[in-house]
Structure 1
């Protein structure tokens, strides 16, 4: 979509994606090797009662689901900011995540592009909010 096709209040729902235990441990082994993501026995003794996904993985999955809607298409130039990131609830193995994405700001630039800011609200299959964050990107007019 071109910059001029986005408007404040516009909403999108992404498809869903299941996060398996294997997804969690594979991601954590490479990018966030902490016990609550890798060591099932030790994680059971912690506050979450088992392995949970890394917050960074939850953010990455949320971003992936949004991009797969194709809303930006080839009109996106680059991301400029990811703000107000909140990891609200843990993501457990076999949780199914989806996003509700709302356009919260559009800002015209003098050149041939504008800034579009969207708010991610990522939910699990129990309709619990697990993640929020605001993404700003530069989009062609």
Structure 2
């Protein structure tokens, strides 16, 4: 989507994304090698009653959905950051995830009119409609 296509109040959906155990293990072994992400046997007896994906992996899955559905081919080029990020429930192997995006604000920068600013809320949910990620992001778009 182009920047002009985003409207305040708009709700967008992306997905599904199927999470495999191999993907959870591979990501965790490389980037977040804590035992509850990398050792299914130990995780089965841990506080989450099984293997869970890293929160950073969860963010990556949401990003993939957003790029594939909305940002690929757009003028999006950077983000100055997030207002907040929460992982209210874990992602597990074999989950099927869907992303809901709510456009909170779109505006053209006053100091740089070639810059579009999009603030949006990302909510990732599993097939049981349980929220596994909630964040507010700002995305920058080069308008010309």
Global fold match (TM > 0.5): yes
Structure 1, unpaired ranges of 5+: none
Out of 103, 119, 122, the position equivalent to 1:120 is 122
Deviation at 1:73, TM superposition (A): 2.2
Deviation at 1:14, TM superposition (A): 0.2
Q: Cα RMSD over matched residues?
A: 1.4
Q: How far, CA to CA, are the matches of 1:17 and 1:28 in structure 2?
A: 18
Which SS does the other structure have where 1:91 is aligned? coil
Structure 2, unpaired ranges of 5+: none
Contact 1:2 1:72 in 2 (8 A): no
Q: How far, CA to CA, are the matches of 1:9 and 1:27 in structure 2?
A: 34
Residue in 2 aligned with 1:25? 25
Deviation at 1:102, TM superposition (A): 0.8
Contact 2:80 2:139 in 1 (8 A): yes
Residue in 1 aligned with 2:107? 107
Contact 1:103 1:119 in 2 (8 A): yes
Q: How far, CA to CA, are the matches of 2:40 and 2:107 in structure 1?
A: 46
Q: How many residues align?
A: 141
Runs of 4 or more, structure 1, over 2 Å off, are 1-5, 70-74
